[in-house]
Amino acid sequence: MMRFLTLFLTLFLSFQSHAKLDDGLYANLHTNQGDIIIKLAFEKTPLTVINFVGLAEGKKHSNIQIGKPFY
């Protein structure tokens, strides 16, 4: 009985981790602790999302000057 319960819980939890996502724009962050999926609120903050996506894809460069402190 205990093996069945363990198997059932393992299967149940593994299916929960792959939940269906609503329509929208998402960012998938890969970390050493696992993946994080973030929904980007383009309707509320369009400029922030555009900057984030541009920096993440490498199409937008930041204005950070090399050799100078960032503050």
SS3 labels along 11-29: HHHHHHCCCCCCCCEEEEE
Residue 48 lies in a domain: yes
- What 16-21 contacts at long range (C-beta under 8 Å, 24+ apart), as own/partner pairs, is none
Mean pLDDT, range 16-38, rounded to an integer: 82
Query: How far apart, in Å, do the first and last CA atoms of the chain sit?
Result: 60
Residue scoring higher pLDDT (38 or 7): 38
Number of structural domains (the chain) is 1
Q: Backbone phi, then psi, for 66, in 5-degree steps?
A: -70, 135
Question: Which residue range(s) make up the domain with 32?
Answer: 22-61
Residue 28 lies in a domain: yes
Q: What band does 19 get if pLDDT is binned at 50, 70 and 90? A: low
Residue 15 lies in a domain: no
What is the torsion angle, in degrees rounded to the nearest 10, for the CA atoms of residue 30, residue 32, residue 58 and residue 38?
40
